[in-house]
Amino acid sequence: MAKRDPEKTRRNKEAATLTTKIKELQPTVLRLTGYTNDQSLNGTYGGKYAEYIDIKNEVIDTPEQFRSLYFQGFLRTLEGLGMYARAGNPYFDAFANYRDNDVVQEWLNIFLERTFLRNYDALTKVRPTVEEACIWIGQENASYGILVTPRFKNGQWENDKSEIRRFSPKYWSIGHILKTGLVIPGENEKIDFVDLEQYLTFFKNTLVRNSGSVHEKEIANRYCEFVRSADKPEDIPLLIPELRYGGIEKKHEYRLDFTVINPFNMNKVGFELSPWSTHGALTGTKSKMQKDINAEALANFEKEMKKLKSYFRKLGITVLVYTDSDLKDHDGIFKTITDYLIVKNSPRQLEFQSIEDFLSFEEVI
């Protein structure tokens, strides 16, 4: 049985307490505002939050921020009414009832806080952009896609954009891949995983093994054990192998050995295992002049640097490079990677003046 999330339990208790307060205030609010029932009342105020707030793109960390954005949106609506911002307009009447009654203010503030708590998971998640919500991994003839809300349309895989916000697992986590699986480019086929072990086996023995790198295999082994030992393995970020710089394009320049995407802020960190034997070694040097050897070595170096700069510029990925001396200590490398696998959300603490601005709105005469 999955462990209960103590934070979610706490939020549910807080929401229940707020519900009690809302019910106590509601009869007075109905009398003061003239609405006939709680459905009309809720529809006039609470049900408007998706109209006033850009919930598809806003990342909202606190109930104070949620209320602030609500009143900013409400104010924009009032300002957009122009000459119709007067008594008799339903938006203005709702505003006037809030402005003129302390009890209505108390009720709506509590109502909005409860709405935030009830929708906490969806509202606080940083969501990938449409462009970020699709990544491609793997070798040229063995590539796979990881999408957020995959659907096959017109011969290609794409995301259902309208559902990205509602995606329940943490983005780019073990839970993510267990929900979506891997898609096959150009084919209406997916590789689904029934459980954690099936994915980890595929990760290690197919995705990583195809690279032929002993170093990548060692890191993959440690990652699998790390995930297995986690209290909530589904929340562990994916260690994404062979991220393709060119995306779905068959011919592309680079692949990054491993990548981790922080599910809370979408920050990306790459890990490049660069032994001299495959990334810099020169052959046939006996027949070459020293200046030619130097030029070839410089070309190899510049190629590697171009790869790292390209990933940063195009995809916003900061890349950590491990060379031969580092690769002697796989445990040490994985310890560094672990720092990016253990992630927690850090809500921003913000102050707002939105309610004061909202209350200062004046009727058009």
Per residue of the chain (365 residues), give pLDDT as tens.
456 678 888 889 999 999 999 999 999 999 999 998 989 998 899 888 989 998 877 888 889 999 999 999 999 999 999 999 999 999 999 999 999 999 999 999 999 999 999 988 888 878 888 888 999 998 777 789 999 999 999 999 999 988 887 898 999 999 999 999 999 998 999 999 999 999 999 999 999 988 778 999 999 999 999 999 999 999 999 999 998 866 666 555 667 899 999 988 888 898 988 765 454 444 555 555 555 444 554 455 456 556 656 665 666 788 888 887 888 999 999 999 999 999 766 544 333 456 667 777 877 66
Domain count, the chain: 2
Q: Say whether both 111 and 160 belong to one domain.
A: no
Q: Say whether both 139 and 239 belong to one domain.
A: yes
Enclosing H/E stretch for 295: helix 290-315
Tell me, yes or no, whether 338 lies in a domain.
no
Q: Say whether both 155 and 101 belong to one domain.
A: no
Q: Say whether both 182 and 316 belong to one domain.
A: yes
Q: Say whether both 33 and 111 belong to one domain.
A: yes
Tell me, yes or no, whether 342 lies in a domain.
no
What is the Cα 206 distance to its own chain's centre? Answer: 26
* Beta-bridge mates of residue 152: 157
Q: Say whether both 156 and 113 belong to one domain.
A: no
Burial of 1 (0-12, 13-18, 19+ CB in 10 A): exposed
Separation CA 275–CA 290 (nearest Å): 23
Q: Say whether both 292 and 194 belong to one domain.
A: yes
Domain ranges, residue 67: 6-124+348-359
Cα–Cα distance list, 274 to 17, 240, 277, 278, 315 (Å): 56, 17, 8, 7, 20
Q: Say whether both 203 and 223 belong to one domain.
A: yes
Tell me, yes or no, whether 341 lies in a domain.
no
- Please state the pTM of the whole predicted model: 0.65
Q: Say whether both 196 and 304 belong to one domain.
A: yes
Q: Say whether both 120 and 167 belong to one domain.
A: no
Nearest to 256 by CA among 269, 268, 266, 243: 243
Separation CA 326–CA 206 (nearest Å): 25
